[in-house]
Each structure stands twice: as structure tokens, then as C-alpha cells.
């Protein structure tokens, strides 16, 4: 299981990433909106510059219809031209930074440019016609009112076209800002939702952690209780077993043979074995029992496990014909097998059923075996397939909730694993062969040579 601290670290990292991503998205869109806003300013400036050209031109026309110099008008005209080009190409000008004009406005811009070109040629023409040559201060030309009115009219059209583009760009900026606000709202909602979700998740993790702590405390108490119980019960059981063994020995001698006592004493011995097994079941989980590894036959352990549980007549057990030798603690492995058999018997209940045990070598390597316990009993609810291996989890009225947890512990001690699947119910044990596997491998190699 992933540790709570790891989960929290992942959650906090995800939050940080989300915050940074939100920030970058906002920066990008705000920057877009800012530059679009600058384009509006540049477009708006066209109006001012066009009016300035006209104003300079009017100023330069002398009372008698001559143009004194035309220089200021030409400068204003240059400014207007530069501004129109700046509007299209973007860049930096007079301390203002702007992006290039979006493609969708290039049509309008071209119309403005054409109008400007027309306006420019009219203005330049007028200046050329009305300018007083520097070497002839007596030169007299009277500009016609029609020419001036024509320039005024064209300039007005240029201003109007420029205003139309400014309006359109302004509306585009409005759209940008609307999108920006919408994104801010959406990101805000996502952030709040994610934070709430994470708070709930963290709360659940801590809650689960607290539940686990309570369970472990309960478990520790149970360990103490089990140790005391084992000592207090196993000593009297030992006394009973010693005494009944003594009685059986005494009554089995030729001159003192008593068949009834023989039968009765065997029953007592079996009952003691069962009680002892029950105690061991708890003890196996709650106490560290020394691991005693020996090379053992899986077949032999299986047979002893079957002897250990009482198999009702409605259940047929099929054991594998093949065998394997593994290095294991046979007593502990017997506990695993017996637990799986006992659970299968319980799952089948009173109906007719079977338990099939299959033994195969792991196809990936020769150093482990796979033992499958399949039964015809009821399926395990999917939500419980992991929980059944947790200590103190049980769905049985009389279960200790330690059987499968013990199995998992014992399998872990052997470096193996236990898993479960449904349809049909199968408990799969992966058991390393250990030294036995190595020995077999060596033997086979030796035989091969």
C-alpha cells in the first residue's frame, strides 16, 4: 500500500503544478490582451496623425494660396505612414510595443493603406504645386479650393476607415478580455474544486491512517491477549496430552489392553490437536514464530493439511499427482494450505462441491512453483478481494479474521505471494523453491552432464 506521506506529496505536487499552469495560462492570455490593446492604440493614433497632417497643411497654406515650406506637413505625413505600417507589422515604436496586426484585419488595413497612398499623393501633389521655390520668393501660385477640399475629403475618409478598424480591434480586445475573465473564472472553479477534492482526499488518508492505527492497537492488544491465552491454555493442554498418552501407553500393554480407552484417548488427542491448532492460528499471526526452513515435499504438506481440516462428505478434494520439493517451514506452509482448504470448505457450504489443487512449475523460471487452490464455492465480492488479506477482516460469524492475513504473512516470510481471483474462486500461491530449487537445478545439470 502506498504510504499516506507519499500520497500527500503527490497531491501537493499536483496542486503546485496546477497553480503554476494556471499562472502561465493567465500570463499568456493577459499578454495577448495587452498587445491587442496596444494595436487598438496604434490604430486609434491614425486618426490623430491624419488630422495633424491636415492641420499642418492648412497651417502652411499662406493667405494668398501658397505653401510656405511643406516640411511640417511632410513630417506629419511620414508619421502617419510609419504608424500605419507599424499597425500592420508590429514591433516597437516611440516606446510602444505591439504585435503584428492579426490576419483577419489585413483586408481593412489594405483599404486604409490604399486610401493613405491616395491621400499622400494628393498632399504631396498639392505641396509640390503650391510650394514657393526657395530661389524664387516672388513665385505665385493660387491653390484651388477644390484641391484643398479634395484632400480634406480623402483625409476624412482615411480617418473614417481608420476608425472602423479601431472599433473592430476594440471589439476584438473586448472579446479577449471576456475570454480572459471566463478563463479566470474557470481556473478559479477548477482550483477550488481540486483543492476541495484534495482536502477530502487528505482527510480520507488521515482517516484511514487513524483507522489503521486503531486496528494496529487493537491488534497489539490482541497479541498480548493471545500470548497469555496461549500460555494459559497450552500448558493444561500439554498436561492433558501427557496424561492421556500415559494412560494409552499403560492400557496398550498386552496384559492391560483396553480397546475402549485406546479409542477414547485417540479422540482426546485429536481434540487437543484441534484446540492447539486454533490457538496456533491466532499465534501464527500475532507472534513471530521462528522460521525453520527445510526441504519438504509439497505433496506431504498438502496431505497433512487435509488431515488437519475435517472435510465433509459433500466436498471432493483433488490433489495434484505431481510433486515438488521446496525449502520452506513445513509447519507454516501447512497452516497456509489448511487455511485455504478450510475457507474453501466454508465457501462451498452444504452443497456438493469440489476443491481442485494444481501444482505447476513457474514457466518463467525453475526457481518457484505455482500452487492453485480452486473451489466451486461462492465468489468473493470484488470489493473484498484485497481486504480479505488484511488482519481482523472477516465475513464469517465465527472467523478470527486472521487466517488469510496469516497466509499472506507466511508467504511473505517465504518470499512468495498469495493472490485471489473469481469465476471460479482461485487462490494462487507463488512459492520460491529456495535451496531445494537450486539443489534440483544442480542435480539436473549434473544428470545432464
415 near other proteins, judged by CB under 8 A = no
Instruction: Rank residues 280 and 366 by Cβ distance to other proteins and give the closer one.
Output: 280
381 near other proteins, judged by CB under 8 A = no
250 near other proteins, judged by CB under 8 A = yes
77 near other proteins, judged by CB under 8 A = no
Instruction: List b or e across 366-399, with b for residues whose CB sees 16 or more CB atoms inside 10 angstroms.
Output: ebbbbbebbbbbeebeeeeeeebbbbebbeeeee
x/- track of binding to other proteins for residues 169-208 (CB under 8 A): ----------------------------------------
Give min distance, CB of 273 to other proteins, in A.
Answer: 8
Select the residue interacting with other proteins from 47, 152, 209, 234 (CB under 8 A).
234
Select the residue interacting with other proteins from 101, 161, 272, 345 (CB under 8 A).
272
Instruction: Output phi, psi for 53, to 5 deg.
Output: -60, -50
Select the residue interacting with other proteins from 85, 164, 289, 317 (CB under 8 A).
289
- Candidates 147-155, 176-184, 225-233, 357-365: pick the segment binding other proteins (CB under 8 A): 225-233
Give min distance, CB of 22 to other proteins, in A.
Answer: 53
- What does each C-alpha distance from 346 to 74, 106, 332, 334, 343 come to in angstroms? 104, 82, 21, 18, 5
261 near other proteins, judged by CB under 8 A = no
Select the residue interacting with other proteins from 241, 301, 341, 418 (CB under 8 A).
241
Instruction: Rank residues 231 and 352 by Cβ distance to other proteins and give the closer one.
Output: 231
Select the residue interacting with other proteins from 104, 290, 447, 449 (CB under 8 A).
290
288 near other proteins, judged by CB under 8 A = yes
Give min distance, CB of 280 to other proteins, in A.
Answer: 8
Dist CA 385 CA 146 (whole Å)? 97
277 near other proteins, judged by CB under 8 A = no
Give min distance, CB of 291 to other proteins, in A.
Answer: 7
Count interface residues toward other proteins (CB under 8 A). 27
Select the residue interacting with other proteins from 125, 238, 262, 424 (CB under 8 A).
238
410 near other proteins, judged by CB under 8 A = no
Angle at 448 between CA 442 and CA 449, to 5 degrees: 95
SS3 string, the chain, reads CCCHHHHHHHHHHHHHHHHHHHHHHHHHHHHHHHHHHHHHHHHHHHHHHHHHHHHHHHHHECCCCCECCCHHHHHHHHHHHHHHHHHHHCEEECCEEECCCCHHHHHHHHHHHHHHHHHHHHHHHHHHHHECCCCCCCCCCCCCHHHHHHHHHHHHHHHHHHHHHHHHHHHHHHHHHHHHHHHHHHHHHHHHHHHHHHHHHHHHHHHHHHHHHHHHHHHHHHHHHHHHHHHHHHHHHHHHHHHHHHHHHHHHCHHHCCHHHHHHHHHHHHHHHHHHHHHHHHHHHHCCCCCCCEEEEHHHHHHHHHHHCCCCCCEEEECCCCCCEEEECHHHHHHHHHHHHHHHHHHHCCCCEEEEEEEEECCCCCCEEEEEEEECCCCCCHHHCCHHHCCCCCCCCCCCCCHHHHHHHHHHHCCCEEEEECCCEEEEEEEECCHHHHHHHHHHHHHHC
- Candidates 137-145, 231-239, 336-344, 360-368: pick the segment binding other proteins (CB under 8 A): 231-239
- Candidates 44-52, 120-128, 167-175, 244-252: pick the segment binding other proteins (CB under 8 A): 244-252
- Candidates 103-111, 136-144, 162-170, 282-290: pick the segment binding other proteins (CB under 8 A): 282-290
Instruction: Rank residues 3 and 231 by Cβ distance to other proteins and give the closer one.
Output: 231
Select the residue interacting with other proteins from 291, 294, 312, 316 (CB under 8 A).
291
243 near other proteins, judged by CB under 8 A = yes
Give min distance, CB of 232 to other proteins, in A.
Answer: 8
Instruction: Rank residues 107 and 236 by Cβ distance to other proteins and give the closer one.
Output: 236
Instruction: Rank residues 208 and 270 by Cβ distance to other proteins and give the closer one.
Output: 270
The residue ranges that bind other proteins (CB under 8 A) are: 227, 230-231, 233-243, 245-246, 249-250, 272, 276, 280, 283, 287-291
Amino acid at each position: 500500500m502506498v504510504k499516506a506521506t507519499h500520497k500527500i506529496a503527490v497531491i501537493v505536487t499536483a496542486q503546485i503544478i496546477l497553480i503554476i499552469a494556471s499562472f502561465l495560462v493567465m500570463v499568456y492570455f493577459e499578454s495577448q490582451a495587452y498587445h491587442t490593446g496596444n494595436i487598438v492604440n496604434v490604430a486609434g493614433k491614425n486618426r490623430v496623425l491624419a488630422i495633424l497632417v491636415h492641420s499642418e497643411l492648412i497651417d502652411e497654406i499662406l493667405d494668398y494660396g501658397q505653401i510656405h515650406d511643406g516640411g511640417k506637413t511632410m513630417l506629419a505625413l511620414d508619421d502617419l505612414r510609419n504608424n500605419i505600417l507599424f499597425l500592420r507589422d508590429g514591433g516597437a515604436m516611440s516606446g510602444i510595443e505591439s504585435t503584428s496586426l492579426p490576419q483577419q484585419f489585413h483586408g481593412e488595413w489594405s483599404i486604409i493603406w490604399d486610401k493613405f497612398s491616395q491621400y499622400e499623393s494628393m498632399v504631396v501633389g498639392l505641396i509640390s504645386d503650391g510650394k514657393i521655390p526657395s530661389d524664387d520668393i516672388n513665385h505665385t501660385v493660387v491653390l484651388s479650393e477644390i484641391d484643398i477640399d479634395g484632400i480634406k475629403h480623402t483625409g476624412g475618409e482615411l480617418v473614417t476607415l481608420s476608425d472602423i478598424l479601431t472599433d473592430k480591434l476594440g471589439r476584438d480586445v473586448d472579446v479577449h478580455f471576456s475570454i480572459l475573465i471566463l478563463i479566470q473564472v474557470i481556473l478559479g472553479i477548477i482550483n477550488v474544486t481540486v483543492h476541495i477534492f484534495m482536502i477530502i482526499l487528505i482527510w480520507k488518508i488521515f482517516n484511514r491512517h487513524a483507522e489503521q492505527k486503531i486496528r494496529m492497537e487493537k491488534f497489539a492488544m490482541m497479541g498480548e491477549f493471545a500470548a497469555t491465552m496461549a500460555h494459559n491454555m497450552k500448558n493444561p493442554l500439554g498436561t492433558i496430552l501427557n496424561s492421556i498418552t500415559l494412560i494409552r501407553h499403560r492400557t496398550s500393554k498386552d496384559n492391560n489392553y483396553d480397546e475402549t480407552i485406546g479409542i477414547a484417548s485417540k479422540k482426546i488427542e485429536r481434540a487437543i490437536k484441534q484446540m492447539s491448532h486454533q490457538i496456533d492460528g491466532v499465534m501464527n499471526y500475532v507472534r513471530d514464530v521462528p522460521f525453520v526452513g527445510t526441504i519438504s515435499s509439497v505433496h506431504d504438506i498438502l496431505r497433512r493439511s487435509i488431515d488437519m481440516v475435517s472435510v465433509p462428505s459433500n466436498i471432493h478434494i483433488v490433489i495434484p499427482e505431481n510433486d515438488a520439493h521446496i525449502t520452506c517451514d513445513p509447519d507454516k506452509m501447512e497452516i497456509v494450505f489448511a487455511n485455504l482448504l478450510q475457507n474453501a470448505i466454508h465457501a462451498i457450504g452444504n452443497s456438493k462441491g469440489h476443491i481442485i489443487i494444481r501444482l505447476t512449475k513457474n514457466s518463467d523460471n525453475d526457481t518457484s512453483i505455482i500452487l492453485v487452490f480452486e473451489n466451486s464455492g461462492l465468489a468473493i465480492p470484488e470489493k473484498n478481494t484485497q481486504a480479505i488479506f488484511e488482519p481482523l477482516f472477516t465475513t464469517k460469524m465465527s472467523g478470527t479474521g486472521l487466517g488469510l492475513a496469516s497466509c499472506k504473512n507466511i508467504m511473505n516470510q517465504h518470499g512468495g505471494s498469495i493472490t485471489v481471483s473469481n469465476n471460479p474462486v482461485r487462490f494462487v500461491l507463488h512459492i520460491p523453491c529456495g535451496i531445494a530449487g537450486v539443489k534440483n537445478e544442480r542435480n539436473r545439470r549434473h544428470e545432464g552432464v
